[in-house]
A and B are shown apart, each in its own frame.
Chain A
């Protein structure tokens, strides 16, 4: 039997050896790969017709080629190129040459001569163009080699006169990418005639083919991008192109004008047909503004986008963009905006009820009216009411950028932005609300504008409403009526959409703290207090009442006179809200009350340092773990963990670090405890039951390590090593426990083998970190590796057990920034007693709304889990579009979960929770031999396990049997 077993063991282990041989075999394969060129050669020789050859080439192009074999392949290809008569095959070869020369690690200068050579003899225009493309690839690969660049530029110049637009296009592209303005710098370049690339490209601005004109402009832009300074003379040429017949030319020309205007903003250009002169940037601005009413929407989008980045333009021109001189029957008319402003300043509310309210007043001098302004007049007015929403969005973005740099412009464009809140496309509305928020520091809303803004609160789209709440958080309101209006509208919103509760409360918090003096006169009215009579105490659970209180308490924070206006129950409610909604209600200095919280709050900042210190100290204390007896070590760990946990609760900034280290220590504690078990000394058959603790510990350590690895953002590689090391120890523990408890050795072979593989992987992945792991479990294990390989399982287990006991505790270096991922499900709230009824077998949609914090890549990792009472669990992958990103580190998941079940007799609760899925192999650097090959996408996205990271919410549901 023993002999048989021994044989089996050897069999098992020889298998491992065989695997290694396999690896060698794969390496061998790589060595044989250069024969690719030979294979290609044979293939091409076999090809009887051009179509055949083309097929071979296409097949060949699908596989990657290694750097060392590129040259051989190129030679073969060139050889065939000379022989080939069919232009399509030559074309393919030329394109392959280009692709090959892009291979990393291959220096293409050796094939350049050949490429230029075949270029001179080529007749087909298409092949010529492709060859020039290849040369471009070669040239961009060798950016330092000036001589080659010069030579390529020369070649390009020679072919510029080609009759085919494709060839000219490529030549210009080549010039744009490789041409230089500097006169020959190096010696070897002196021999070649230096050319003024800009002049050459500029000549092709008037080419007869629009595609070539476009290419010329693009080449010029390319020159600019490469850091060469364009001449100012180009400006006039570019201006002429603005009236080109073709949209792509105009679109590129607009870009070029923008570039020149950024290069020479201050130089002076004359205005044609007059003696005046203006700054170039102003002139360019006017011209680009004119393009906002171009016939092609592509150009309009381009122009509107670029306007946003022209910050140097003078304010006089800038403000013209919002001005469109209205007239009616040749009489000057005021715009609705002007009228609204006037009504406001005259102290009257908008009446607007008379016909002819907008009747035109003064006569206009017919001679003075200019119908097509060359300047910037009304560019944004046009852009904002464009037919295509792409243009409108671009215009809104441009407005935003310009308003951010100019406060006076911000004030002026407000009316227009407010108007955009009523756009027919939601995206545009959202964009304009965001824009408004961004410029909100510069502006104060007038009452009539606020009115329009607030009207949007009734929008049925949640995104719009929430964006608007964000906007209100940071707007300045000028009057107390404005505050009142905002409050009334927000409360209306609250009754219409109760789900907006949190967002509205938050909004009122900021509104209150920004405008304490405006809220003050409103307080009696809002709290409905009366000087003589006591009024009824409002319902404390009413969200609307809470909303009012949030506004008032936040205003009261900076307004000490306000609490005097409160009635008794207000103080009581304050105490309650301060406890229950502490993030919304600040600590107040209330008369006659002890300020418990205010004593704490100012000292938080000064305490920060000691707590950091405390954290350090407690962690350092753990270093001495090794020298303590097991009992002492356990105690030390226990109270350190307790300290850390408490620290995390007290100091939210340190919560991540504290939790992280506590988890690690807990793993260690579990490990020590498991190893302390008496069971190790007892004979195997006796402790079947007792081993529960050890195996449970192993399982728990595994879980905790996964949490450490994937639930914290900011974990660096050095922590990952330690975590993996801990996991390896857990696996070893598991192996030992299994070895002890199971009889029969069959399962053990597999486990041993697997474990050794794990060790091997560990070594491979973290080879650079191994020196840091002195005296650790792995370190020792690796020393014993040769022995382990040859030992039989029982021996392996024994070795493992001793190593595990002897191994040192690894200190966990603390990462700089670490945050624990967390999630809260806002909806469903889990409070409802009304079951969700639906017919069994059909589905019911459950709205899930959750906030996620510090989750990296939530689109791929966050899942929703539904647990049915029968233990059935369902995992739902939310769509990537369901995640929004309201701020750094924060995400919002708004999705629908479909529930279904067979009929129940009673309503029952299902649990909904969020899971964080992980895949440990995705994080680890890829195995070296996999790098070149294709990694199948399934491997990347597969889920290895999940960690629940939100509190489960219970939802009451009731699938009814279907009626027949």
Chain B
């Protein structure tokens, strides 16, 4: 029995360190290769020794697929390919390929330079690793080898995020990565066709949440910024360099444009500039509005947003500043925060979640006096706002995607166990699809039905289709043909062609039955009577009287003969071939012949 086996090495009932092993029809595919934010020891990377104890990874894995550039999906890639050792192909989309190394380099810098870790991958390793990458386009079917093929679908979430369909023969698996079912200011919504995979592996970050309309959030955000700026205040928005930052930039940029505002907006430099450059290049990956208007103006060429300089923070007058990092725990955003915190006109907007212990978390939970290094106490008078801009599908969105793809099974990853439980129950209840949620290291085995493709010749198919009068699209139907098994492929052909191919002669099977008639006349006359009688009954069939005295009804032949022993009785020979279509059944015929004119005749007839 063929089967699909799935083992999460990370992201099984957990968020972070996404890494899922899939074996499908003898092919092994690794989906994502992420790191875990919460750990600093060995647990931050997936345990690759699980895959193979002492063999080479390249021998075991057919390919690696990276869904998008977030570090919890690609952070372990250089470690995996260069330090553990993998030389096979790595598939990702073009934007991911472009942006991924920037983030990896940034991650390496923080780990090695700041935290001083040894035995970490180097810049060269990142470069070497990226050389193994094969970039794919959306909806492009890529043949990994003769049997394994993959195809990318748009996923929203971040620039270049994709869902992947992995297909071997008739079996297929779809892996969603992270995705977003509602469009935002710079990306569209995830979309997949009705590909009916055997298994859909979906993220479930917001398994128990149904979100409000994004418009309210956007409006609130804009209103707050606008009001503060109008009253002469400064607005600080701490962000991470990629993803949400671009969305907020676009949001503010268009608002500034619309409202004709002149207040400066700054973006702290560094990583972002490089990333913005890529955003400008990958216009086809963005949403409808940006795609349609980029000919006139590329939305990522910001008119109002300028690069930030440290000296600007002290400038008088209103301004809006995007600064990294997003949780106010270090760096530029914290510096600016310290300068502006004292003025109640100013405002800080936290656009995302903050980890406990960071300044961001403290001010969000309402703390007004912060202890800084050197026993300084910072009094926070500025307004503190929280705005959630998240790019994951909510419970409804997940259900919608499952509905779109119509999979046979669903497997949940990238979420908390408790929340998954709820969603699993809902999926099984409402969609009637079996659902799994394995923990890390736990293997799920799905039996799949084996299907064997059989080729059929078009002529035969059309001929057989014409037989049925009514169209019955999805009902099974019988058809006549010959199955030929040759060189391990199967073909269904018409019997004539099969005979021809096999070099066999056709044997005709003819059935004959004798009907005794009590009739004293000559054979010819008997035949003539039978003929005229049949002619009168079988109006819709072609009845012919042949010159040799026999009668044909379509392909059925009737001959009258006089047996020598009894001149008073005549014998009618009714003969027909095995395959009769469209004509009268010979059995009916023989009873027709026998009923009215010669009631005395025996009616027992051998039937085929």
**Stretch from B18-26, B33-41, B254-262, B501-509 forming part of the interface with A:** B254-262
Q: Indicate whether A190 reaches chain B with its CB closer than 8 angstroms.
A: no
- Interface positions, chain B 465-483, Cβ under 8 Å from A, are 465-466, 469-474
> With a CB–CB cut-off of 8 A, which chain A residues contact B462?
163
Q: In the docked arrangement, what's the CA distance between A427 and B257, Å?
A: 16
Interface string of A361-373 (1 = CB under 8 A from B): 0000010011110
Contact A460 B216 (CB under 8 A): no
Q: Indicate whether B384 reaches chain A with its CB closer than 8 angstroms.
A: yes
Q: Indicate whether A835 reaches chain B with its CB closer than 8 angstroms.
A: no
User: With A372-B431, A388-B288, A420-B215 in contact, do A329 and B209 touch (Cβ < 8 Å)?
Assistant: yes
Q: Indicate whether B538 reaches chain A with its CB closer than 8 angstroms.
A: no
Shortest Cβ distance from residue B223 to the other chain A in the assembled complex, whole angstroms? 7
Q: In the docked arrangement, what's the CA distance between A204 and B469, Å?
A: 11
> With a CB–CB cut-off of 8 A, which chain A residues contact B426?
369, 371
Q: Indicate whether B214 reaches chain A with its CB closer than 8 angstroms.
A: yes
Contact B214 A293 (CB under 8 A): no
Contact B211 A326 (CB under 8 A): yes
> With a CB–CB cut-off of 8 A, which chain A residues contact B288?
387-389
Q: Indicate whether A312 reaches chain B with its CB closer than 8 angstroms.
A: no
Q: In the docked arrangement, what's the CA distance between A293 and B399, Å?
A: 11
Q: In the docked arrangement, what's the CA distance between A452 and B465, Å?
A: 63
Contact B188 A384 (CB under 8 A): no
- Interface positions, chain B 348-369, Cβ under 8 Å from A, are 350, 364-366
Shortest Cβ distance from residue A955 to the other chain B in the assembled complex, whole angstroms? 25
- Interface positions, chain B 226-263, Cβ under 8 Å from A, are 226, 254, 257-260
> With a CB–CB cut-off of 8 A, which chain A residues contact B289?
389, 424-425
Contact A370 B189 (CB under 8 A): no
Q: Indicate whether B422 reaches chain A with its CB closer than 8 angstroms.
A: yes
Q: In the docked arrangement, what's the CA distance between A387 and B257, Å?
A: 21
Contact B430 A419 (CB under 8 A): no
Q: Which residue of A lies closest to B425 (CB)?
A: A366
> With a CB–CB cut-off of 8 A, which chain B residues contact A871?
none
Contact B422 A330 (CB under 8 A): yes
User: With A336-B216, A455-B226 in contact, do A327 and B209 touch (Cβ < 8 Å)?
Assistant: yes
Q: In the docked arrangement, what's the CA distance between A208 and B470, Å?
A: 11
Contact A460 B258 (CB under 8 A): yes
Q: Indicate whether B52 reaches chain A with its CB closer than 8 angstroms.
A: no
A-B contact count (CB 8 A): 133
Contact B383 A372 (CB under 8 A): no
Shortest Cβ distance from residue B549 to the other chain A in the assembled complex, whole angstroms? 36
Q: Indicate whether A496 reaches chain B with its CB closer than 8 angstroms.
A: yes
Q: In the docked arrangement, what's the CA distance between A496 and B262, Å?
A: 12
Picked from B182, B395, B472, the residue with its CB within 8 Å of the CB of A206 is B472
Shortest Cβ distance from residue B117 to the other chain A in the assembled complex, whole angstroms? 34
User: With A206-B473, A355-B386, A387-B183 in contact, do A371 and B399 touch (Cβ < 8 Å)?
Assistant: yes
> With a CB–CB cut-off of 8 A, which chain B residues contact A371?
210, 395-396, 399, 426, 430
Q: Indicate whether A461 reaches chain B with its CB closer than 8 angstroms.
A: yes
User: With A161-B469, A372-B431, A424-B185 in contact, do A461 and B258 touch (Cβ < 8 Å)?
Assistant: yes
Q: Indicate whether A12 reaches chain B with its CB closer than 8 angstroms.
A: no
Contact B384 A353 (CB under 8 A): yes
Q: Indicate whether A591 reaches chain B with its CB closer than 8 angstroms.
A: no
User: With A295-B194, A422-B218, A458-B259 in contact, do A329 and B472 touch (Cβ < 8 Å)?
Assistant: no
Contact A330 B208 (CB under 8 A): yes
Picked from A337, A372, A424, the residue with its CB within 8 Å of the CB of B254 is A424
Q: In the docked arrangement, what's the CA distance between A355 and B386, Å?
A: 6
User: With A337-B216, A458-B259 in contact, do A295 and B209 touch (Cβ < 8 Å)?
Assistant: no
> With a CB–CB cut-off of 8 A, which chain A residues contact B466?
161, 163
Q: Indicate whether A324 reaches chain B with its CB closer than 8 angstroms.
A: yes
Interface string of B424-460 (1 = CB under 8 A from A): 0110001100000000000000000000000000000
Contact B472 A419 (CB under 8 A): no
Picked from A326, A384, A422, A425, the residue with its CB within 8 Å of the CB of B219 is A422
Q: Indicate whether A113 reaches chain B with its CB closer than 8 angstroms.
A: no
> With a CB–CB cut-off of 8 A, which chain A residues contact B524?
none
Contact B219 A452 (CB under 8 A): yes
Q: In the docked arrangement, what's the CA distance between A522 and B488, Å?
A: 92
Q: Indicate whether B133 reaches chain A with its CB closer than 8 angstroms.
A: no
Picked from B209, B215, B471, the residue with its CB within 8 Å of the CB of A422 is B215
Q: Indicate whether B191 reaches chain A with its CB closer than 8 angstroms.
A: yes
Q: In the docked arrangement, what's the CA distance between A851 and B416, Å?
A: 63
Contact A326 B215 (CB under 8 A): no
> With a CB–CB cut-off of 8 A, which chain A residues contact B385?
352-353
> With a CB–CB cut-off of 8 A, which chain B residues contact A208?
471, 473
Interface string of A344-378 (1 = CB under 8 A from B): 00000000111110000000001001111000001
Q: In the docked arrangement, what's the CA distance between A356 and B364, Å?
A: 9
Contact A387 B189 (CB under 8 A): yes
Contact A381 B258 (CB under 8 A): no
Q: In the docked arrangement, what's the CA distance between A330 and B400, Å?
A: 18
> With a CB–CB cut-off of 8 A, which chain B residues contact A336?
212-213, 216-217, 220
> With a CB–CB cut-off of 8 A, which chain A residues contact B223?
452, 455
Picked from B259, B395, B473, the residue with its CB within 8 Å of the CB of A459 is B259
Q: Indicate whether A856 reaches chain B with its CB closer than 8 angstroms.
A: no
Shortest Cβ distance from residue A238 to the other chain B in the assembled complex, whole angstroms? 15
- Interface positions, chain B 171-201, Cβ under 8 Å from A, are 182-183, 185, 188-189, 191-194
Q: Indicate whether B403 reaches chain A with its CB closer than 8 angstroms.
A: yes
Q: Indicate whether A620 reaches chain B with its CB closer than 8 angstroms.
A: no
Q: Indicate whether B222 reaches chain A with its CB closer than 8 angstroms.
A: yes
> With a CB–CB cut-off of 8 A, which chain A residues contact B27?
none
Interface string of A411-427 (1 = CB under 8 A from B): 00000100110111100
Q: In the docked arrangement, what's the CA distance between A340 and B469, Å?
A: 63
- Interface positions, chain A 562-611, Cβ under 8 Å from B, are none
Q: Indicate whether B304 reaches chain A with its CB closer than 8 angstroms.
A: no
> With a CB–CB cut-off of 8 A, which chain B residues contact A370?
430
Picked from B213, B219, B465, the residue with its CB within 8 Å of the CB of A385 is B213
Contact A384 B430 (CB under 8 A): no
Q: Indicate whether B287 reaches chain A with its CB closer than 8 angstroms.
A: yes
User: With A370-B430, A424-B254 in contact, do A460 and B219 touch (Cβ < 8 Å)?
Assistant: no
Q: Indicate whether A926 reaches chain B with its CB closer than 8 angstroms.
A: no
Q: In the docked arrangement, what's the CA distance between A369 and B429, Å?
A: 11
Q: In the docked arrangement, what's the CA distance between A705 and B36, Å?
A: 87
Contact A295 B422 (CB under 8 A): no
- Interface positions, chain B 374-426, Cβ under 8 Å from A, are 383-386, 395-396, 399-400, 403-404, 419, 422, 425-426
Shortest Cβ distance from residue A385 to the other chain B in the assembled complex, whole angstroms? 6
User: With A206-B474, A329-B419 in contact, do A384 and B425 touch (Cβ < 8 Å)?
Assistant: no
Q: Which residue of A lies closest to B254 (CB)?
A: A424
> With a CB–CB cut-off of 8 A, which chain B residues contact A352?
220, 224, 385
User: With A384-B215, A460-B257, A460-B260 in contact, do A207 and B473 touch (Cβ < 8 Å)?
Assistant: yes
- Interface positions, chain B 288-310, Cβ under 8 Å from A, are 288-289
Contact B212 A326 (CB under 8 A): yes
Contact A458 B260 (CB under 8 A): yes
Contact B213 A295 (CB under 8 A): no
Q: Indicate whether A859 reaches chain B with its CB closer than 8 angstroms.
A: no
Shortest Cβ distance from residue B159 to the other chain A in the assembled complex, whole angstroms? 15
Q: Indicate whether A386 reaches chain B with its CB closer than 8 angstroms.
A: yes
Shortest Cβ distance from residue B272 to the other chain A in the assembled complex, whole angstroms? 22
> With a CB–CB cut-off of 8 A, which chain B residues contact A335?
212-213, 216
Contact A386 B183 (CB under 8 A): yes
Q: Which 5 pairs across A and B sit closest by C-beta, in order of nearness?
A: A336-B216, A387-B183, A419-B215, A355-B386, A207-B471
Q: Besides the contacts A295-B191, A330-B422, A416-B213, what 13 more A-B pairs have beta carbons closer than 8 Å?
A: A245-B194, A295-B192, A329-B419, A330-B208, A336-B220, A384-B213, A385-B182, A385-B215, A387-B189, A419-B213, A419-B215, A423-B215, A425-B289
Residues in B lying within 8 Å of A, measured CB to CB:
182-183, 185, 188-189, 191-194, 208-220, 222-224, 226, 254, 257-260, 287-289, 350, 364-366, 383-386, 395-396, 399-400, 403-404, 419, 422, 425-426, 430-431, 462, 465-466, 469-474
* 12 sampled A-B residue pairs with Cβ under 8 A: A245-B194, A324-B213, A330-B208, A335-B216, A336-B216, A366-B425, A371-B430, A372-B399, A372-B403, A384-B215, A386-B183, A460-B257
